[in-house]
Structure 1
Amino acid sequence: MTSHRIIASILFVLAAAPAQATECPTLFLGGRPPEVAQESLAAKTRPLCFKAFSVLHSGVTRTALWSAERLTRDSVGDARSMERVNTFKAEMRLPATERAELSDYSRSGFDRGHLAPSGDMPDPEAQDESFSLANMIPQDPDNNRNLWAAIETAVRDLAIRSGEVYVVTGPIFSGTDLKALRGRVLVPTHLFKAVYDGRTRRAGAYIAENVPGFGWKAVTLLELQGYTGIDVFPALPAQAKASLMDLPVPRPRAAKSTPSNESAGSVAWDLAKRAMKVWQ
Structure 2
Amino acid sequence: MTQAGICLDQRRMYRVHSTKIKASAIRAVFGILTALLATTSACSVETAAPASPTCASIHPARTTPALLNPKLATSTRPFCFHAFAILHSSVTRTPLYVAEHLTRASVEAARALNTRDNRFHAEPQLIPAERGELADYRGSGFDRGHMAPSGDMGNTADDYESFSLANIVPQDGPLNRNGWADLEGYVRDLTGKLGETYVVTGPAFASGNLKRLNGRVLVPSHVWKAIYVPGQGAGAWIVSNDRQQQWEVVSIATLAARTGIDPFPSLDRAAKAKVPAFPTFD
1:45 maps to 76
Assess if the C-alpha contact under 8 Å between 1:19 and 1:42 holds in 2. Answer: no
2:3 maps to 7
Q: What does residue range 78-227 of structure 1 map to in structure 2 within 5 Å?
A: 78-82=109-113, 83-200=115-232, 202-213=233-244, 215-227=246-258
In the TM superposition, residue 197 of structure 1 has moved relative to its aligned partner by 1.4
1:260 maps to none
Which secondary structure state, in structure 1, belongs to the residue aligned with residue 118 of structure 2?
A: coil
Which secondary structure state, in structure 2, belongs to the residue aligned with residue 177 of structure 1?
A: coil
Which secondary structure state, in structure 2, belongs to the residue aligned with residue 52 of structure 1?
A: coil
Alignment counterpart, residue 276 of structure 2, candidates 231, 235, 245: 245
TM-score relative to the length of structure 2: 0.81
* Partners of 2:97 and 2:67 in 1: CA distance: 10
* Partners of 1:137 and 1:63 in 2: CA distance: 6
* Partners of 2:217 and 2:223 in 1: CA distance: 15
2:17 maps to none
In the TM superposition, residue 170 of structure 1 has moved relative to its aligned partner by 0.3
Instruction: Point out 4+ residue stretches in structure 1 off by more than 6 angstroms.
Output: none
* Partners of 1:20 and 1:235 in 2: CA distance: 11
* Partners of 1:45 and 1:153 in 2: CA distance: 29
* Partners of 2:231 and 2:103 in 1: CA distance: 11
In the TM superposition, residue 95 of structure 1 has moved relative to its aligned partner by 2.2
Q: Deviations 1:95-117 (Å, cap 9, x if unpaired)?
A: 22110000000010000000000
In the TM superposition, residue 214 of structure 1 has moved relative to its aligned partner by 5.1
Q: Does 1:27 align with 2:58?
A: yes
Query: Larger RCO: Structure 1 or Structure 2 (Cα < 8 Å, ≥ 6 residues apart)?
Result: 2
Assess if the C-alpha contact under 8 Å between 2:91 and 2:130 holds in 1. Answer: yes
Aligned length: 242
| Residues 1:199 and 1:123: Cα distance change in structure 2 (over 3 Å) | farther
In the TM superposition, residue 208 of structure 1 has moved relative to its aligned partner by 0.4
Unaligned runs of 5+ in 2: 9-47
* Partners of 2:87 and 2:140 in 1: CA distance: 24
TM-score relative to the length of structure 1: 0.82
In the TM superposition, residue 92 of structure 1 has moved relative to its aligned partner by 1.1
Whichever residue aligns with residue 46 of structure 1, its letter is R
Whichever residue aligns with residue 126 of structure 1, its letter is D
* Partners of 1:138 and 1:47 in 2: CA distance: 20
2:35 maps to none
1:67 maps to 98
